[in-house]
Amino acid sequence: MSIRLQLLREAWDFLRTFTGRAGEVVVDTTNNRLVVHDGATAGGFPAAKLSDLTAPQNLTRLGIGTTADAATPFAAKLDAALWTALTKAEGGSGDLRYTLNKEAAGNTLSLLFQSGWSGRAEIGLSGDDDLHLKVSSDGTAWTEALRIDRKTAAVTVPGPLVGAAASLTNLALSGTPDQLVINGGGNFASIAFTDGNLSSKWSFGRDPSGALMIYDAVGGRNPIVLAPNGPVAFSAPITARSASFGGALGLGSFTVATLQAGSAGQVVFVSDGRKVLEGAGSGSGVMTCYSNGAWRRLSDDAAVMG
């Protein structure tokens, strides 16, 4: 079956409602383009001009390698995408800023990362104007991993920084200031200080026994150890001072009656202990060291007496 080609020339105000016969071609003198009719569609099918292809405006949908729909009016299915700045030589600034905007603070503006069409991570302004980072294992239940306050730039980490066994957590306890908790998960929990060489690091932390210690990697030792409910231990090579104090050193103070059994090397002050020439009951206090099963005066190694 042959269709006779017919031509009509009119302005677009008339042609927008005109229904031509099948195969009829109309010249739109307003927009300088051809319009093809099928005999049923009012306005026909305007042909695209070169300007429509080089500068398309107000597109309702765009699909690249896939089909766009009403829910996703812009869709692309491709292996790679590139956004690059227009150079100064091409008339641009050389900068590139990708801008996303939401209507109000209560709306959400975010980038959603999916695996197999199931959400795994989301970053953006979710429900307010703070920056949020959320993660999910199933695309349904989401956990906030990071929040940055829009006003103060304060970083909030709601959960552990590392795994469940070993973690760094911000812990808020009732009636106390917030605490940054380092959990070693049954192993050492410590903070290391280094210039980039771990063999020369210093670390400060708690060992599995509950002792708090400072560790010197160069010396391979713990110069200071605080045992649970126990003494503070200082250790150093025999050629060095174990501890140096710039001010007065205060020792434990006891009376002869309250002095308890000690261990070798302990030093205390006995407030009513007698010096060498003092009589019974008139002691003015002595420094004592525990040695050979007894507390002994440092002056003459005699047993302490009241």
Note down pLDDT in tens along the chain; length 306 residues.
445 555 667 788 888 888 888 888 888 888 888 889 898 999 888 888 877 777 888 889 999 999 999 999 999 999 999 999 999 999 999 999 999 999 999 999 999 999 999 999 999 999 999 999 999 999 999 999 999 999 999 888 776 666 555 555 665 555 666 666 776 766 777 777 877 777 777 888 888 777 888 888 887 877 788 778 777 777 766 555 566 777 877 888 889 899 888 888 888 889 888 888 888 888 888 889 888 888 888 877 677 776
Q: Are residues 186 and 229 in the same domain?
A: yes
Note whether residue 209 is domain-resident.
Answer: yes
Distance from C-alpha of 192 to C-alpha of 197, rounded to nearest angstrom: 11
Q: Are residues 269 and 235 in the same domain?
A: no
CATH label of the domain that carries residue 48: 2.10.10.30
What range does the domain containing 293 cover?
253-297
Tally the domains of the chain.
Answer: 4
Note whether residue 13 is domain-resident.
Answer: yes
Note whether residue 194 is domain-resident.
Answer: yes
Q: Are residues 196 and 140 in the same domain?
A: no
Report which of 132, 90, 93 is spatially closest to residue 109, judged by C-alpha positions: 132
Q: Which residue has the tokens 């920084």?
A: 161
Note whether residue 188 is domain-resident.
Answer: yes
Between strands 118-126 and 131-136, the pairing is antiparallel
Tell me the sheet residues that pair with 295.
290
Note whether residue 39 is domain-resident.
Answer: yes
Question: Among 36, 52, 68, where does a domain finish?
Answer: 52
DSSP, residue by residue, 45-80 = EEPPPHHHHHS--S-S-EEESS---SS-SEEE--S-
What are the phi and psi torsion angles at 53 (to 5°)?
Answer: -85, -35
Burial (Cβ within 10 Å: 0-12, 13-18, ≥19) of residue 278 = middle
What is this structure's pTM? 0.51
Q: Are residues 238 and 283 in the same domain?
A: no
Q: Are residues 184 and 229 in the same domain?
A: yes
Note whether residue 276 is domain-resident.
Answer: yes
Tell me the sheet residues that pair with 269.
253, 287
Distance from C-alpha of 169 to C-alpha of 39, rounded to nearest angstrom: 72
Note whether residue 116 is domain-resident.
Answer: yes
Q: Are residues 22 and 46 in the same domain?
A: yes
Q: Are residues 260 and 236 in the same domain?
A: no
Cβ neighbours around 101 below 10 Å, total: 6
Distance from C-alpha of 225 to C-alpha of 232, rounded to nearest angstrom: 6
Note whether residue 117 is domain-resident.
Answer: yes
